[in-house]
Structure 1
Amino acid sequence: MNKRDFTREKTFVCDTCGKGFANVNHLKGHIRVHTGEKPFVCDTCGKAFARQGTLNRHDRVHTGETPFVCDTCGRAFSQRINLKSHSKVHTNEKPFVCATCGKAFSCPTNLKAHVRVHTGEKPFVCETCGRAFSQEVSLTRHVRVHTGEKPFACETCGRAFAALRELKRHAKIHAGEKT
């Protein structure tokens, strides 16, 4: 019997949408979806979250912590779900296929983002300047132009960067110093 075969009675029900939960704390966390309450705030950037676990995962953006490592190639990820998705690269498993062009993807999120190439949809809009993006990550990076946020800091010299790729490029300077 695996985890999915085991189902507990869902005695705690959301009054708003009827979704059931086996644990009252899970229900309390779910209710925040409807209320919009986000009591867990990042000390580094001020971003707020509805759940403590989501804040904990978010913290890895700032720390660069990547505890989930691929056994095949050694690539590391900040979230378990990203490692799970990545592992399909090694098996060449691509079950998610674009109906327009036939391109296949290993995860549904990548397919959804790809479909926007065909539709031209740009659902992620900057509240400051109105610029629209097809991917949420692109909007997140763009917003830092306005806020000046630089959440990625070099452990060696303390210099901060707006994008992780910039920090990684910078870190090579210090790697060269050590050799």
Structure 2
Amino acid sequence: MSPKRDGLGTGDGLHSQVLQEQVSTGDNLHECDSQGPSKHTLVREGKTYKCKECGSVFNKNSLLVRHQQIHTGVKPYECQECGKAFPEKVDFVRHVRIHTGEKPCKCVECGKVFNRRSHLLCHHQIHTGEKPYECSECGRTFSYHSVFIQHRMTHTGEKLFGCKECGKSFYYNSSLTRHMKIHTREKPYKCSECGKTFTYHSVFFRHSMTHTAGKPYECKECGKGFYYSYSLTRHTRSHTGEKPYECLEHRKAFGYHSAFAQQSKIHSGGKNL
């Protein structure tokens, strides 16, 4: 089963993966012409760089150097707020936004902001109507990869992401990441008022309200206040009538994910998706 774009591996990661599968591990690693046109499809120009530790292959030396930090354990980028260190700058910058609240990626259509470009691109499909993810089992198409994965479970029942510590498995990588904090005891969210630290942002945010006693998100239509932006977003749909969750089984749309999930359970035979 493969979508039009499965989203499970793109960019340099996919490049490395395919190279690792298709490129000979011999001395003539980058002599693609001698192997014929059917092999080395991604090695079209220049030389390749191979990791001596694990055999992974890259088309740029900079990517190899960055990859080798996995083996050396070097983490040159350290967060001044919580002390967590990262081997790559991109991960460090993304992490810092947890503390700063920075959301530099803005939708030109509706003004909504995001802390990651990938989240903005995903959101933008609401405006374009694009549905690039297609189920090979039933032909249904989806705007979001997460919804596509959720739908695919109705056919396979598989859980793709497993915890190496305890064996528990999850449908989503984000769920696994959240779960791993149980084992690592990581607490990246620190209250500037009292110094208390938290594992999850949602718990940290609820705690911060005990200091401010405020509801920062206010509905412009009726003035009702909310602690969380997503709560305001949900509430706003009561005014706009927006129903972003669509059940393709009955061509029915829902304003809230909980209602959509309940409908999905009916189609999947009562399984929790």
Tell me the TM-score normalized by structure 1. Answer: 0.68
Aligned to 1:65: 102
In structure 2, the CA distance between the partners of 1:46 and 1:119, relative to structure 1 (3 Å rule), is farther
Aligned to 2:246: none
Alignment partner of 1:13 is 2:51:
no
In structure 2, the CA distance between the partners of 1:152 and 1:104, relative to structure 1 (3 Å rule), is farther
How much has 1:137 moved relative to structure 2? 1.0
Q: Matched residues in 1 for 2:138 and 2:192: separation?
A: 44
Alignment partner of 1:82 is 2:111:
no
Of 157, 173, 176 in structure 1, the residue corresponding to residue 214 of structure 2 is: 176
Q: CA RMSD in A?
A: 3.5
Between structure 1 and structure 2, the one with the greater Rg is: 2
Where 2:214 maps in the other structure, the secondary structure is helix
Where 1:99 maps in the other structure, the secondary structure is coil
Aligned to 1:3: none
In structure 2, the CA distance between the partners of 1:73 and 1:10, relative to structure 1 (3 Å rule), is same
In structure 2, the CA distance between the partners of 1:17 and 1:150, relative to structure 1 (3 Å rule), is closer
Alignment partner of 1:93 is 2:93:
no
In structure 2, the CA distance between the partners of 1:91 and 1:166, relative to structure 1 (3 Å rule), is farther
Q: Matched residues in 2 for 1:147 and 1:18: separation?
A: 30
User: Structure 1: any 5+ residue segments left out of the alignment?
Assistant: 1-8
How much has 1:12 moved relative to structure 2? 4.7
Q: Matched residues in 2 for 1:169 and 1:66: separation?
A: 20
Check conservation: 1:154, 1:160, Cα contact below 8 A.
Answer: yes
What is the letter of the counterpart of residue 14 of structure 1?
Y
The C-alpha deviation readout for 1:51-106, integer Å capped at 9, x for no partner, is 32233223323443221122233322222122122111122211212233544322
Check conservation: 1:96, 1:107, Cα contact below 8 A.
Answer: yes
Identity of paired residues, percent? 34
Check conservation: 1:12, 1:27, Cα contact below 8 A.
Answer: no
Of 156, 161, 164 in structure 1, the residue corresponding to residue 201 of structure 2 is: 164
How much has 1:117 moved relative to structure 2? 4.5
How much has 1:121 moved relative to structure 2? 1.9
User: Structure 2: any 5+ residue segments left out of the alignment?
Assistant: 1-43, 217-224, 226-273
Aligned to 1:52: 89
The C-alpha deviation readout for 1:16-64, integer Å capped at 9, x for no partner, is 566433xx4344335x38x644522544364643x32233223323443
Q: Matched residues in 2 for 1:109 and 1:158: separation?
A: 35
How much has 1:177 moved relative to structure 2? 7.6
Aligned to 2:180: 143
Deviant stretches of 4+, over 6 Å: none
What is the letter of the counterpart of residue 20 of structure 1?
N
What is the letter of the counterpart of residue 167 of structure 1?
F
In structure 2, the CA distance between the partners of 1:157 and 1:129, relative to structure 1 (3 Å rule), is same
How much has 1:138 moved relative to structure 2? 0.8
The C-alpha deviation readout for 1:112-161, integer Å capped at 9, x for no partner, is 45424532222322233322112111111122233332222344554433
